[in-house]
Structure 1
Amino acid sequence: MTKDTIEQLSKTPSLHPAYSVTNIQTKIRTLDDTKVTYSAWVKLFRLHAVAYKVSDHIDGAAALTSSSTDHDAWKEIDALVLQWIYSTISDDLLKRVLDSNATAHAAWIKLEKIFLNNKKAQAASLETKFCNLTLSACSSIEDYCQHLTDLANQLANVDVPVTESRLVLQLVRGLPAEYNTTASLINQNGVDWDQAVAMLNDEVLRMEAQKGTQSTVLAATSPQTPSQNNHSNQTSQPSDPNSSSTRGRNRGRGSWNRRGGKGRGNNRPPYTPWPGQQQQQSGYPN
């Protein structure tokens, strides 16, 4: 490689790091204010902007004048950052901030106004939600803890920061009665947020294991079902010859008694002829 070639390569401008991003949604989750809150989205976006050297496009740094030699390059990077913003917000928010002549900073400020206007009213509403949130209103311990942290971050965005000690106290306050023992240990030991969450998760595992053991013991010692008892009684009960079903079998015109006679029942006495009939029968010739 000659000296002229080296000088030519050194003078060639390097590609801006922002151009290396191919899919911004894999790095920044979509802002929908449900699963991803505004505060979480801002933290992710700022982290990404610093890594790819575009923080000045969202912080309001003065744009280069049109006469500047780097104006076209700056404008291209700004349009790229604006695409990042549009690609990582929900469709409803996109309709409110979309503008053909907007810059990345203008779109950033518009989103900030949407979420942070009327701070006092928002702070009052968020404070009520934070204080009234309980575990019974959530699907699991993880969901309960996530809701608390989201509300704490939203309160911080409206200039009402929540300390870690208050966050732990609210965590304990919203637990039901079956967690009283763990709640007392958290309060007495003065643990931090991560330790309190770990203790609650351990308690959930212990309670689930205990329920599984109880169900196994109940299944092993369960009494015989009524249907099984009835079946065993029917098979073991001897038949009663004097019962109505037995009597009904021996009655009828076509049933034979023990003496060989045909009649209505087995208990009828044998036929005895009258005296006159006996004489007539005896007078017949042999």
Structure 2
Amino acid sequence: MGDANNSVATAAENKTPLHPVYTISNIQNKIQTLDGVKTTYSSWVKLFKLHAKGYDVLNHIDGTEAPAKFSPTYESWVKIDAIVLQWIYGTLSHDLMRRVLDCHSTTYQAWTNIESIFLDNKKARAVALETQFTNLTLTACSSLDDYCQQLRDLAEQLKDADQPMDESRLII
């Protein structure tokens, strides 16, 4: 909390506007936890990018180069990058966070690590999801709504693996 107050005081002294990233106090209230099941990778990415764009930090996840170390904006960029990295870690399931957590990582490195977890081995992932989809039965679910939701979730995960399911298959 002290760092945020110092940033506010410094911004006021320098007459520079406070970067929007400093206005987020709890990212979990805005972005659901990525677990790959209830929240799919593609929906998490869409929501995360929406917030990154809205809070003017998209350049931290899109591969844009950091300013040079001697640049006057470098220190600010490093601080903002650390906050966005905290957003990423704060919106991952514990299992995923353990896989990507690295104290020397930049936001972009963590972003691409998560991407590779979900998008590498697409074929094997698609086969496993297709098997789950085919073998899901109504008796294995608590209700018809639960059954339909699980089918939709599996279809969304298949779409993430570049194996979209057509609407007619979902209806059948």
**Would you call these one fold, judging by a TM-score over 0.5?**
yes
Q: What SS is found at the alignment partner of 2:165?
A: coil
Question: Which residue in the other structure is 1:96 paired with?
Answer: 99
Give how far 1:42 is off: 2.0
Give how far 1:66 is off: 0.8
**Map 1:68-107 → 2, pairs under 5 A:** 68-107=71-110
Instruction: Determine the C-alpha separation between the residues in 1 that align with 2:114 and 2:49.
Output: 14
Give how far 1:31 is off: 2.0
Give how far 1:115 is off: 2.0
User: Is contact 2:38–2:153 with CA below 8 Å preserved after alignment?
Assistant: no
Q: Which runs of 5+ in 2 are unaligned?
A: 1-11
Asked whether 1:165 is paired with 2:168, we answer: yes
Give how far 1:139 is off: 1.0
**Greater Rg, structure 1 or structure 2?**
1
User: Is contact 2:159–2:165 with CA below 8 Å preserved after alignment?
Assistant: yes
Paired letter, 2:87 = W
Root mean square deviation of aligned Cα: 1.8
Instruction: Determine the C-alpha separation between the residues in 1 that align with 2:74 and 2:109.
Output: 18
Give how far 1:74 is off: 1.2
TM-score by length of 1: 0.52
Q: What SS is found at the alignment partner of 1:68?
A: coil
Identity within the alignment, % = 56
User: Is contact 2:32–2:44 with CA below 8 Å preserved after alignment?
Assistant: yes
Alpha-carbon displacement from aligned partner over 1:80-116 (angstroms, at most 9, x marks no partner): 1000011111222222111111001100111111222
**Map 1:164-203 → 2, pairs under 5 A:** 164-169=167-172
**Map 1:18-167 → 2, pairs under 5 A:** 18-167=21-170
Instruction: Determine the C-alpha separation between the residues in 1 that align with 2:170 and 2:81.
Output: 39
Alpha-carbon displacement from aligned partner over 1:119-177 (angstroms, at most 9, x marks no partner): 111111111222232322211122112111111111111111123333223xxxxxxxx
Give how far 1:61 is off: 1.1
Paired letter, 1:35 = K
Instruction: Determine the C-alpha separation between the residues in 2 that align with 1:93 and 1:125.
Output: 19
Question: Which residue in the other structure is 1:180 paired with?
Answer: none
> What is the number of residues matched between the two proteins?
160
User: Is contact 2:129–2:158 with CA below 8 Å preserved after alignment?
Assistant: yes
2:16 pairs, out of 9, 13, 16, with 13
Instruction: Determine the C-alpha separation between the residues in 2 that align with 1:148 and 1:43.
Output: 21
TM-score by length of 2: 0.84
Instruction: Determine the C-alpha separation between the residues in 2 that align with 1:133 and 1:46.
Output: 32
Paired letter, 2:126 = A
Question: Which residue in the other structure is 1:248 paired with?
Answer: none
**Map 1:247-262 → 2, pairs under 5 A:** none
Higher relative contact order by CA 8 Å / sep ≥ 6: 1 or 2? 2
Instruction: Determine the C-alpha separation between the residues in 1 that align with 2:66 and 2:146.
Output: 43
Instruction: Determine the C-alpha separation between the residues in 1 that align with 2:167 and 2:21.
Output: 36
Paired letter, 2:66 = A
Paired letter, 2:112 = I
Instruction: Determine the C-alpha separation between the residues in 2 that align with 1:137 and 1:37.
Output: 21
Instruction: Determine the C-alpha separation between the residues in 1 that align with 2:116 and 2:81.
Output: 20
